[in-house]
Chains A and B, each alone.
Chain A
Amino acid sequence: MLPVNPQYVESIIEKERPDGLMLGFGGQTALNCGVKLDELGILKKYGVKVLGTQILGIKATEDRQLFKDSMIECGIPVLKSKTVRSFEDAKAVANEIGYPVIVRVAYTLGGKGGGVAYNEIELHEIAGRGLSASMVGQILIEEYVGSWKQIEYEVMQDYSGNNVIVCNMENVLSMKVHTGDNIVVAPSQTIDNREYHVLRTAALKATKHVGIVGECNIQFALDTDSDKFAAIEINPRLSRSSALASKATGYPLAYMSAKIGLGYTLPELVNRITKSTTACFEPSLDYIVCKHPRWDFGKFELANRKLGPTMKSVGEVMAIGRCFEESLQKAIRMLEIGNDGLVLNRLNGKTYDEEEIEEHLSKPDDLILYYVAAALRKGMSVEKIYKLSDIDPWYIEKIKNIVEIEKDLKEKDLNAQLLSRAKKFGFSDRQIARAKNKEESEIRKTRKELGIIPVVKQIDTLAAEWPAKTNYLYLTYGGNKNDLEVTQKERGVMVLGAGPYRIGSSVEFDWGTVNMVWGLQENGEKNVAVVNCNPETVSTDYDICQRLYFEELTHERILDITEFEKTKGIVTSVGGQTANNLTPKLAKSGIHLLGTSAEDVDRAENRSKFSSILDQLHIKQPPWQEFSKIGEAKNFAQEVGYPVIVRPSYVLSGAAMKVVWSQEELKQYVSEAAIVSPDHPVVISKFMLNSLEVDVDGICDGKHVIIGAIVEHIESAGVHSGDAMMCIPPWRLNNKIIETITDYTDKIAKAFHIKGPFNLQFLINDGHVYVIELNIRASRSMPFVSKLVKVNLISLASRAILGKDLPKLPHDMWKKIHTYGIKVPQFSFMQLEGADMVLGVEMQSTGEAACFGVSFYDALSKGLISVGYNLPTKGTALITIGGAENKEKLLPTVAALRHLGFKILATEHTAEFFSEKIGDVEIVHKISEPQRKPNIADLLYERKINFIINIPSTSTLEKYVGMLYDEYQIRRKAVELGIPVLTTPELADSFVKTLEWLQKNETTKEPLEPYNTIN
């Protein structure tokens, strides 16, 4: 587990001496690293061959100008454009092409730093940002064709030149919106045979010309008024699109391109689904796939929600149906954003006037399709909607079908015909129930009585022409007969996956799902079915389990599947909160839960029940209470003392959880952002400042408890556990506290009769141990813990889930490991225009890295490098620290920094403090005072600052309170320019100590050790 950068990869090459290197599987990071390794002569030095697309081919696609040149060479049209290296040149090119122009950045991830400029002022801003984001200081200024169709092809090609198109896809929101943020259908719907095949031929020609070997994605813009088109870009690697294409077609692109990289030809490879036909073919679908992005703008109050050329989504879902309406509404439900489809959702009280709708149609954000529906309801013509939104009328008409059924459901009697029509168009029972003012269960009952049930169909790559040997399945109302039946002998257990990646739920839960499936299989359960809907996951590979349902994780759909499967039991403890939330209702519907019982899960989820059990165990919790009246809440807050954490059960806008510092603020928050009523109570708990936070990951079989590890957060409590850096072993906890935590863990796990994985969160304040919460499910940190202690916790948990005993392992097993492990969050503030990066109780990170080492700093330095921190040995640091307490706290850190030879810049107050204590601190001026020099803005742009320590004063820890706009500006500019900003005292201190450590030490570069075998 090492950073993917040339330095570390070289050290591995030196040690392992591999013959070949594959660059196409680790996204842009791996690709960039490979190009660098080649440029540094490392590949040549060690005689390492690049397998698959060669470096020249990679460059011909990654460098915008080389790409255009090679397209022109092979006769494929491209858009007018020019590569520039300065703003002045950008301006000249833009004037020549004519505005609007799009700025694209060479060598970056997800269109990072690009944008559309409608005038010179915007060009200045976007070009500046792009030039600094580019690894090679290049940007491309290009004619903008936002209204054109965006069509993509996934190409496979072998060394002998055999090539096929595996999938073509159409973006519903035209060229305007980055494909990662677009709603995408496969196959394309609105282009005819000639367009499809002209683009297909161009795709093959272009990729052959640049020398793709393996898989790539090529994107075209296609005029809506003629057959004019242009090639936009080629991704010479497996990408998000290829993962989608693999799941959309059943063609395993990564697997096949690995084989091709090794030298196999396409015709030598076999179709993995039919197991008899060749892999050198083009899948024919008999369904329509709809990919929908998942955004998490709610977590970033200041972030700009508008969609454009920069990708902002954090995950995606894929839905399969036999018509567009069904696929789309399924996809919306899969997103887990609380919506039951495109229409008939829980109302949020919002109404829109025509002007607002028009504005939103022409400048799309994450709600664009809801605005299309709103416009149709208002009677706006399809033509007008089309002209504003550039969404092909075909899609608008389909949405109109949905809106019309909504109307019928509201106004007409619910007869069999209407019910069947609604189901065919993807309406959920809950949507129908809402229209009819009934319970979801009543609709289900009626529906089943009428025989309106979905059928199970296979995805087989060949539209039923050849029999499939695998069970890659989906459910649809667009058919009459199931493709298979589950016999009595084939009945099995079901594992629920975690749904889309989003903030707080990512690949760690997929790791849990997959390892649970394997664990169950190893422990004798041969028939394991999986339900999940995230195309980016391994759990949705059809060869992981016996039957894969690429389906919604909704109560309705899980019941449909369990009724079809006659499932013996269901596992809801590895799919994160998504699966966990389904537990009570599934139990109520009579589904047998495997593992911890639904009552025990409820005893942990229900705050009152949870507290009373802790009381019985004599275990403390931070004081909390639930309120349905604001007055009572205020009294309680006053009593326990501010700050407090407020958790409304119903949020109007913004984040769901908030730290509140004063009576005033509480009043304001509750009146503006949340509802407090008997139906929507609010929970208020004491926020304990200056506490340490600790996670424990473990498993239990009801009798024996296995503690994976005690994990300490580096940041103080108040930073969401998903955003905190974490360390194993804990290094600030004394033995007594560790013993207390161990004892509490043991007691709690037994008290809740846990059978399977669990995660406990503790707070250490003033030597006392408090329990914050118990999650009776796999946690985010479980793979990290498992890998460090070399015990696969989920694999063991599967035994408990099947009712077997766990082996007896010592509670302090983690202590015997002499390795330090650090988990570091990865943020995406760069892509989220406007978002502030100060951490708080709401999680904001979009990923993580973990590194192991022989010491704390060994592990930490690798962790920091992995998430993109540049660790300079010399240079300049800018320091702005709010509040006397923080300044005092960071004095040793700043002194150490000075001692290391760093030049220290600070804003006025901070400089005053540190000059006095350590001397020689240079004053710099705020961005809002541009006339005062030296100014932070200039220094940032000129790259004269290596990193920034910016600590908001304690009372503004919660970012929206008294946020200093100046500081926000510094952070934002730094983020946009890719300069590290350290916003907590603990992070700043660790960072500086790491720099210190690195001056005398070198990091270790050991491979990850395998799991221990446990019998």
Chain B
Amino acid sequence: MSRVTITTKKAKHVNKFGKLILGDGTVFEGSGFGYSKTVFGELVFNTGMVGYNETLTDPSYSGQILTLTYPLVGNYGVPDLAQKDNDGISKHFESDKIQIRGLVIHELSTIASHWNLALTLDEWLYNEKIPGISGIDTRELTKKLRTSGVMMAALVVSDTPIDETQVKRELAKAPKYNSEEFMNTVSTKNDQVFGNEPKSVVVIDTGVKNAIIRNVRKIGYKAIKVPWNTTIEKILSYNPKGVVISNGPGDPKKCKETIKTAKSLISKNVPTLGICLGAQILGLAGNAKTYKLKYGHRGQNKPCINLENKQVYVTSQNHGYCIDPKSLKKSNFKLWFTNADDKTVEGIKHKKKKIIAVQFHPEASPGPYDCEFVFEELKHLMEEGRAAKS
């Protein structure tokens, strides 16, 4: 028995003029697709081989032009954007729009084929006014970023020939990623509630991925998503069993109000899980320091060692900033996970309080599901002291 209906779709917003211009003056020529537009942002790369739908909608990519190292992209298209799960959370995406500023790939599949397909990648980018470029030697580009570090870049997709000098001038003037403020654009404006269980977890949205909400739901709690700058009083008014500080874009030091809230969470010993940016915020709240990595960790194959049992987990990651391991000594945090490759901090635990944080993405999507137990860990903290799970 074959597929009942054949689900394929052809790319159409392709073969435009396209140039990727790096801050160091390097120019990569390619073929533009998606929306014709010039964008500026920090150029980063991700080594995952699947999951572009999830990746592109991850709010942590705000302000960034994303290079995918896997050369064939768009093969299985894009599913229906409107599909929601029972809680009203988007079924296939991590937020309600494409978060990257631009996409850089080697080859855009001119055909998409999948049973669950609604759009092609170029069509989706076009609809959301995001430019993409293909035909780039992404391996060469990645090596450049690996050796020189991430840098600002301009991506130009145009229906007419491109004036390189003009773009270079604009790029020089474009606001730098490190100085950009993202919270007001990525964070929710209003509190949102998912589920109706009596027990709840407040999720501080510093650019939260839907998968975090889905995982909170999965451990049996109502999820209350609140803006990044919600006060501790407001949070506690929900009488939550615990709090999650989410992932998100940019320099964690810019999330001053969240750091303040985090400090209160620590002192009040509210069971809290920080993820990615959330981990850095908790670190800063606990007097640790953060710094920027040369080219970040973005991929689905990052090994992290759990120092408590020496087990290694393959994790999904997307971060440019990191907690300084030396600074942990002056804090009340101890190391929980380290990166097996470069020994960076991948997780911390408060020595006395019910505060845990991971630098990787236990919620996966994209990437491996191996670390969903981190949510179970939060659940355990929230239910500690009880006789049995209620």
Residue B146 CB within 8 A of the other chain: yes
Interface residues of A in 452-470 (CB under 8 A from B): 455, 457, 462-467
The contact of B370 among A192, A204, A464, A483, by CB within 8 Å, is A204
CB distance B140 to A288 under 8 Å?
no
Interface residues of B in 327-347 (CB under 8 A from A): 340-341
The contact of B314 among A196, A282, A386, by CB within 8 Å, is A282
CA distance A850 to B356 in the complex (A): 62
Q: Which residues of A contact B110 (CB under 8 A)?
A: 397, 401
CB distance A285 to B49 under 8 Å?
yes
CB distance A394 to B113 under 8 Å?
yes
CB distance B311 to A190 under 8 Å?
no
CB distance A478 to B106 under 8 Å?
yes
Q: Is the interface of A mostly helix, strand, loop or mixed?
A: loop
Contacts A147-B2, A193-B54, A322-B107; A286 near B138 (Cβ below 8 A): yes
Residue B368 CB within 8 A of the other chain: yes
Q: Which residues of B contact A392 (CB under 8 A)?
A: 113
Kindly provide the distance from the CB of B162 to the nearest chain A CB, expressed in whole angstroms: 18
CB distance B311 to A465 under 8 Å?
no
CB distance B49 to A187 under 8 Å?
yes
Residue A99 CB within 8 A of the other chain: no
Contacts A187-B49, A386-B2, A478-B106; A197 near B368 (Cβ below 8 A): yes
Interface stretch (choices B185-193, B239-247, B300-308, B381-389): B300-308
Residue B116 CB within 8 A of the other chain: yes
The contact of B107 among A276, A382, A478, by CB within 8 Å, is A478
CB distance B137 to A465 under 8 Å?
no
Contacts A267-B305, A278-B341; A479 near B113 (Cβ below 8 A): no
Kindly provide the distance from the CB of B26 to the nearest chain A CB, expressed in whole angstroms: 11
Contacts A193-B50, A281-B341; A397 near B8 (Cβ below 8 A): yes
CB distance A387 to B2 under 8 Å?
yes
The contact of B113 among A282, A393, A467, by CB within 8 Å, is A393
CB distance B71 to A284 under 8 Å?
no
CA distance A162 to B303 in the complex (A): 11
Contacts A457-B139, A479-B139; A267 near B310 (Cβ below 8 A): yes
Kindly provide the distance from the CB of B214 to the nearest chain A CB, expressed in whole angstroms: 12
CB distance A277 to B341 under 8 Å?
yes
Contacts A192-B50, A383-B6, A394-B113; A324 near B72 (Cβ below 8 A): yes
CA distance A480 to B106 in the complex (A): 11
The 0/1 profile, CB within 8 Å of B marked 1, for residues 466-493 of chain A is 1100000000001111010000000000
CB distance B314 to A281 under 8 Å?
yes
CA distance A797 to B310 in the complex (A): 51
CA distance A457 to B92 in the complex (A): 35
CB distance B341 to A466 under 8 Å?
yes
Residue B60 CB within 8 A of the other chain: no
Kindly provide the distance from the CB of A741 to the nearest chain B CB, expressed in whole angstroms: 56
Q: Which residues of B contact A390 (CB under 8 A)?
A: 2
CA distance A188 to B76 in the complex (A): 11
Q: Which residues of A contact B310 (CB under 8 A)?
A: 160, 265, 267
CB distance B3 to A386 under 8 Å?
yes
A-B CB contacts (within 8 Å), total count: 181
Q: A282: nearest residue on chain B (CB-CB)?
A: B301
CB distance B365 to A224 under 8 Å?
no
Kindly provide the distance from the CB of A131 to the nearest chain B CB, expressed in whole angstroms: 29
Kindly provide the distance from the CB of A769 to the nearest chain B CB, expressed in whole angstroms: 59
CA distance A959 to B370 in the complex (A): 59
Q: Which residues of A contact B113 (CB under 8 A)?
A: 190, 392-394, 397
CA distance A392 to B139 in the complex (A): 28
Q: A398: nearest residue on chain B (CB-CB)?
A: B111
CB distance B2 to A190 under 8 Å?
no
CB distance B8 to A393 under 8 Å?
yes
CA distance A425 to B276 in the complex (A): 40
Residue B364 CB within 8 A of the other chain: yes
Q: Which residues of B contact A393 (CB under 8 A)?
A: 6, 8, 111, 113
Interface residues of A in 580-638 (CB under 8 A from B): none
Q: Which of A147, A192, A266, A401 has the most CB of B within 10 A?
A: A192
Interface residues of A in 211-233 (CB under 8 A from B): 224-226
CB distance B303 to A481 under 8 Å?
no
CB distance A287 to B71 under 8 Å?
yes
Q: B112: nearest residue on chain A (CB-CB)?
A: A394
CB distance A480 to B140 under 8 Å?
yes
CA distance A277 to B302 in the complex (A): 10
Q: Is the interface of B mostly helix, strand, loop or mixed?
A: loop
Interface residues of A in 143-164 (CB under 8 A from B): 147, 160-162, 164
Residue B69 CB within 8 A of the other chain: yes
Residue B47 CB within 8 A of the other chain: yes
Residue A191 CB within 8 A of the other chain: yes
Residue B59 CB within 8 A of the other chain: no
Q: Which residues of B contact A278 (CB under 8 A)?
A: 303, 312, 340-341
Interface residues of A in 101-147 (CB under 8 A from B): 147
CB distance A462 to B2 under 8 Å?
no
Residue A201 CB within 8 A of the other chain: yes
Residue B53 CB within 8 A of the other chain: yes
Residue A570 CB within 8 A of the other chain: no
Residue B23 CB within 8 A of the other chain: no
CB distance B47 to A462 under 8 Å?
yes
Q: Which residues of B contact A512 (CB under 8 A)?
A: none
Q: Which residues of A contact B47 (CB under 8 A)?
A: 284, 286, 462-463, 465
Contacts A281-B302, A286-B69; A463 near B51 (Cβ below 8 A): no
Q: B71: nearest residue on chain A (CB-CB)?
A: A322
Q: A395: nearest residue on chain B (CB-CB)?
A: B113
Residue B114 CB within 8 A of the other chain: yes
CA distance A288 to B75 in the complex (A): 13
The contact of B301 among A281, A324, A394, by CB within 8 Å, is A281
Q: Which residues of A contact B299 (CB under 8 A)?
A: 284, 463, 465
Q: Which residues of A contact B364 (CB under 8 A)?
A: 197
Residue A258 CB within 8 A of the other chain: no
Q: Which of B8, B110, B302 has the most CB of A within 10 A?
A: B8
Residue B366 CB within 8 A of the other chain: yes
Residue A292 CB within 8 A of the other chain: no
Residue A374 CB within 8 A of the other chain: no
Q: Which residues of B contact A187 (CB under 8 A)?
A: 49-50, 70
Kindly provide the distance from the CB of A405 to the nearest chain B CB, expressed in whole angstroms: 13
Q: Which residues of B contact A190 (CB under 8 A)?
A: 75-76, 113-114
CB distance B71 to A478 under 8 Å?
yes
Residue A670 CB within 8 A of the other chain: no
Q: B79: nearest residue on chain A (CB-CB)?
A: A192
Kindly provide the distance from the CB of B344 to the nearest chain A CB, expressed in whole angstroms: 12
CA distance A989 to B217 in the complex (A): 76
CA distance A860 to B314 in the complex (A): 52
Q: Which of A187, A280, A466 has the most CB of B within 10 A?
A: A280
Kindly provide the distance from the CB of B354 to the nearest chain A CB, expressed in whole angstroms: 27
Q: B113: nearest residue on chain A (CB-CB)?
A: A394
Q: B147: nearest residue on chain A (CB-CB)?
A: A467
Q: Which residues of B contact A276 (CB under 8 A)?
A: 341
Pairs A-B, 8 closest by C-beta atoms: A193-B51, A463-B69, A282-B301, A397-B111, A394-B113, A464-B142, A284-B47, A278-B340
B interface, CB within 8 angstroms of A: 1-4, 6, 8, 45, 47-51, 53-54, 69-72, 75-76, 79, 92, 106-107, 109-116, 137-140, 142-143, 146, 295, 299-303, 305, 310-312, 314, 340-341, 364-370
A interface, CB within 8 angstroms of B: 147, 160-162, 164-165, 187-194, 196-197, 200-201, 204, 224-226, 265-267, 276-278, 280-288, 322-324, 382-383, 386-387, 390, 392-394, 397-398, 401, 455, 457, 462-467, 478-481, 483
Given A196-B50, A287-B71, A465-B146, 16 more pairs with CB closer than 8 A: A161-B311, A162-B311, A190-B76, A192-B79, A193-B54, A225-B4, A284-B301, A286-B47, A286-B142, A386-B3, A390-B2, A397-B110, A465-B69, A465-B299, A467-B146, A481-B137
19 contacts between A and B (CB under 8 A): A161-B311, A193-B51, A201-B369, A204-B370, A224-B115, A267-B303, A267-B340, A277-B340, A277-B341, A280-B312, A280-B340, A281-B340, A282-B300, A286-B138, A394-B111, A394-B113, A397-B110, A455-B137, A479-B137
